[in-house]
Amino acid sequence: MPELPEVETIVTDLRPRLVGRRIASFRVGKKNLRRPWNTRWTSALRGKKIETVVRRGKWIVLRLEKGLHLVFHLGMTGQLMVVQARQPLASHTHVVADLDETDEQLHFRDIRRFGSVTFFAGEAHVNRFFHDSGLGPEPFDLEPGYWRNCLARTSRCLKAVLLDQRVLAGVGNIYADEALFEAQLHPRRLGRTVRPQEAGRLRRAVIQVLNRAIYKRGSSIRDYVGGNGDRGEYQEEFRVYSRAGAPCVRCRRPIRRIRLAGRSTYFCPSCQRNRSQFRSQESRVRSQKKSEW
């Protein structure tokens, strides 16, 4: 699934090619995406100018004049890009928007159809949509106190916390693993066992990893391409993700793969030791010794 760096790259690519242009026509295919399309929305979009393109978590938002919004989610295999109108229509293309005064079109393609496009008539409606979905803060706006409290209050493992979009918006499987490696924290480590300095280290690691990935235009593993159709390059710099059995870039020990929070999880057993386990073991040993006395 495209994560924050991939979505940010698409938004950056699309913004100069869409802002200021009008939607001459808007066509939606017969096969349903994750959210149904109301045919009344099509006429409401016709002739409207695109004012800006922004990202919220893993969502792409096109803000149009008169407060109208188009909100895209890429699901697992979605692609949103501007193409030449004379280009043959690719299979699994579900949305085509003609752009006026140009021979270009905006295409939304999704092989598995887990993605969506939704229309909102007004800023309040789109804001309510994100509020009702429980979407957490952006990683770049993450307040240290909020982050420490989120970890201190949970008995979930760090991998699960990072994947929870209600806690932190935009981070998925790839960048959760990469950030935990950067912070030298075990993915099984329980949130409530994390010390304040470790929480700060993880917060900074998330931002650093995301920024590096954005600079490399995200990670193209399967279907992801940017808004211009170009692939990302960050997959060539993975330190742990999808590197099971390969040597760690720090210590040369083999990278391990486990199943955690319902997802494949990659880490270095040497650089990311689960110190909370060690402390609990030491505590049990001390308790046994006291009972023997």
Tokens of 103: 């021979």
The alpha carbon of 120 is separated from its chain's Cα centroid by a whole number of angstroms, namely 22
> Quick check: is 289 catalytic?
no
> Quick check: is 216 catalytic?
no
> Quick check: is 30 catalytic?
no
> Quick check: is 243 catalytic?
no
Active-site residue among 48, 201, 263, 275? 263
Active-site residue among 17, 55, 56, 58? 58
Instruction: Give the residues across from 116 on adjacent strands.
Output: 73
Kindly write down the DSSP assignment for every residue of the chain, as one continuous string. Answer: ---HHHHHHHHHHHHHHHTT-BEEEEEE-SS--SSPPPHHHHHHHTTPBEEEEEEETTEEEEEEGGGEEEEEE-TTTEEEEEEETTSPPPTTEEEEEEETTSSEEEEEEESS---EEEEEESHHHHHHHHHHTT----GGG--HHHHHHHHHT--SBHHHHHH-TTTSSS--HHHHHHHHHHHT--TT-BGGG--HHHHHHHHHHHHHHHHHHHHTT---SSS---TTSPPP-GGGG-SSTT-TTSBPTTT-PBPEEEEETTEEEEE-TTTT--HHHHHHHHHHHHHHHHHH-
Tokens of 161: 């916390």
Separation of alpha carbons 134 and 140, rounded Å: 18
Residues with active-site annotation: 2-3, 58, 263
